[in-house]
Amino acid sequence: MRPLSELLQEAKVDAPPPRYDVDHVVAAGRRRVRQRNSGWALAAVVAVATAIGVPQIVTRGPAPNPPQPAASVAPAPAPEYLIPSAARFRGYRTASFRVGDPANFGPGYTSTGAVPKKGMSPTMSLLVYEPGIDPLTRLGLKRAADVDPIKGRPAFTVSAAGFPAETLVWEYADNAFAVLTPQPPGATRAQVREVAEGFGLASEQPVLVAFKVGYLPDGFRLRAVSQESDEFSAVHFLPVSAMREPVQKYEAINGTKGSIQIVLQGQDPAGAPNCGCVGYRKVGDGHEVIITGPISKAEARKILDSLEVSTPGDYSTWVPVAQMVPEEYLYKGE
């Protein structure tokens, strides 16, 4: 899929009364998933269980037993590589803007967008990073100037190629930062600040996926999850080589570098012939799973055969993101 900026610009947001909110904006992009194999702009820590090493045991006496070898410990991914296990904020409204519920999740961040209550612009991209992740390093930004605090916490503007001067970074919790970036044609500092000041934490909601994946081709790792509604679920995998590369602007994913997408969505009336995919599976009445990416149909069939699909429309049957793939498919910085 194209970056959030393009999706937001394509959506027609008219008011009063508003006909389209952020969820509709995202849905508009979702309907185009069959026509492209690109990424989505997608940011809370996934709980990944790790084995705990057994200490060496030495008995005393005239004939001591040899020390027992420590149990092997599988290295856990560092927080900056983990897909968040929970969304910790909700969509909200300010005097002039509507901010969508968190729907896209990538390594160490959750993302959403802001659209005006009237008209089509300005729109903004909101990235919310996990505690301990430095957005300046992550996005290649330079701190430009301190501004008035946001809810009593530090805030500052940044400078970098492709980021407007109105881009705002602020600390929303201890050692945790958010980045709010206006999309073309831009926004005023006052508008950006209005959206930032409306942000707040909420009770956690788990990040869920509508299927388990048991098989992937060698060398692929989980890169992003999209949980837009109980009728749509998508995951995105990249080769390890692409995972090592610096993130793109707004954490966008470059779909030209061998990415695999697995999507559960409402069924197209035309079915498989219209999916533009390498793998297709009908799910119940009215839904489908499609696979896109530069893999063979044989590999796509292996992925489809490995899927355990939950019930569309029923979150209670969906799978926590930490359980949707075997640990070997999680990126650990290798």
Please provide the DSSP assignment of 93-135 as one string.
Answer: E-SSEEEPPP-EEETTEEEEEEEESSSS---EEEEEEPTT--H
Q: What DSSP string runs through 150-209?
A: ETTEEEEEEEBTTB-TT-EEEEEETTEEEEEEEPTT---HHHHHHHHHH--EEEEEE-EE
Residue 219 and residue 239 in contact, taking contact as beta carbons nearer than 8 Å? yes
Residue 57 is predicted with a pLDDT of 27
Q: Which of 206, 224, 252 is the last residue of a domain?
A: 206
Residues 109 and 152 in one domain: yes
Position 67 in a domain: no
As a whole number of angstroms, the distance between CA 117 and CA 209 comes to 30
Q: Which of 181, 206, 231 is the last residue of a domain?
A: 206
Report CA-CA distances (Å) from 219 to 138, 216, 239, 259, 276: 23, 8, 6, 11, 24
Whole-prediction pTM value?
0.77
Residues 31 and 138 in one domain: yes
Residues 170 and 259 in one domain: no
As a whole number of angstroms, the distance between CA 100 and CA 153 comes to 23
Residues 129 and 237 in one domain: no
As a whole number of angstroms, the distance between CA 126 and CA 182 comes to 9
Residues 101 and 32 in one domain: yes
Residues 199 and 215 in one domain: no
Residue 209 and residue 289 in contact, taking contact as beta carbons nearer than 8 Å? no
Report percent pLDDT > 90 for the chain.
60
As a whole number of angstroms, the distance between CA 49 and CA 324 comes to 13
Quick check: helix, strand or coil at residue 252?
coil
Residues 32 and 143 in one domain: yes
As a whole number of angstroms, the distance between CA 249 and CA 29 comes to 19
Q: How many CA within 13 A on the CB side of residue 132?
A: 9
- Report how far Cα 176 is from the mean position of its chain's Cα atoms: 17
Position 50 in a domain: no
Instruction: For residue 271, give its domain range.
Output: 208-329
Residue 324 and residue 235 in contact, taking contact as beta carbons nearer than 8 Å? yes
Closest C-alpha to 117, from 205, 238, 14 = 14
Longest dimension (CA), the chain: 88
Q: How many domains does one find in the chain?
A: 2
Give the pLDDT confidence of 22-63 residue by residue, as tens digits. Answer: 344 334 444 434 333 333 333 332 222 222 232 322 333 333
In single-letter form, the type of residue at position 294 comes to P
Residues 232 and 308 in one domain: yes
Quick check: helix, strand or coil at residue 5?
helix
DSSP 330: S
Residue 306 and residue 214 in contact, taking contact as beta carbons nearer than 8 Å? yes
Q: Which long-range contacts (CB under 8 A, 24 or more apart) does 300-303 make?
A: 302/215, 303/213, 303/215, 303/216, 303/260, 303/262, 303/279
Report CA-CA distances (Å) from 330 to 37, 96, 153, 275: 21, 40, 33, 28
Q: Which of 206, 240, 261 is the last residue of a domain?
A: 206
Position 77 in a domain: no
Residues 29 and 107 in one domain: yes
Position 86 in a domain: yes
How would you write the pLDDT of the chain (334 residues) with one tens digit per residue?
444 444 333 333 333 333 333 344 334 444 434 333 333 333 332 222 222 232 322 333 333 443 444 444 444 556 688 899 999 999 999 999 999 999 899 999 999 999 999 888 889 999 999 999 999 999 999 999 999 999 999 999 999 988 999 999 999 999 999 999 999 888 999 999 999 999 999 999 999 999 999 999 999 999 999 988 999 999 999 998 888 877 777 787 765 568 999 999 999 888 777 788 999 999 988 999 999 999 999 999 999 999 999 999 999 999 999 999 999 998 888 7
Position 287 in a domain: yes
Position 309 in a domain: yes
Residues 18 and 100 in one domain: yes
CATH code of the domain in which 279 resides: 3.30.200
Position 301 in a domain: yes
Report CA-CA distances (Å) from 34 to 37, 85, 282, 289, 299: 8, 28, 15, 11, 19
Position 308 in a domain: yes
Residues 127 and 168 in one domain: yes
Q: What DSSP string runs through 76-96?
A: PPPGGGSPPSEEEE--EE-SS
Residues 199 and 300 in one domain: no
